[in-house]
């Protein structure tokens, strides 16, 4: 398994925390037309959403993942 998936999941965890607080702070004011279930999202739903997006992005667009950071150690000359 390549480390790009772990970086994507780490990024999802990193971005889900501010998204959770900002969404639950601003959604009742600016998205009042949404049902209450969407105005107050639980944290684990936000994190699951970001993890799902990271997994789908890695599957659909593998060339845009963090795998480009891998080095080819066979071509390294000391």
Say how far apart CA 43 and CA 75 lie, in whole Å. Answer: 44
CB 7 within 8 A of CB 66: yes
Asked whether residue 19 carries a pLDDT value surpassing 60, the answer given is yes
Q: Which two tokens stand for residue 15?
A: 């971005």
How many other CB atoms are there within 10 angstroms of residue 46's CB atom? 20
Residues 22-37, mean pLDDT to the nearest whole number: 92
Residues 46-60, mean pLDDT to the nearest whole number: 84
Asked whether residue 67 carries a pLDDT value surpassing 80, the answer given is no
């Amino acid at each position: 398994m390549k480390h790009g998936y772990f970086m994507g999941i780490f990024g999802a965890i990193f971005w889900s925390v501010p998204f959770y607080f900002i969404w639950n702070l601003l959604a009742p004011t600016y998205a009042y037309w949404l049902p209450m279930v969407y105005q107050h999202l639980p944290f684990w739903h936000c994190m699951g959403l970001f993890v799902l997006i990271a997994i789908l992005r890695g599957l659909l667009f593998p060339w845009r993942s963090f795998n480009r950071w891998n080095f080819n150690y066979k071509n390294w000359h000391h």
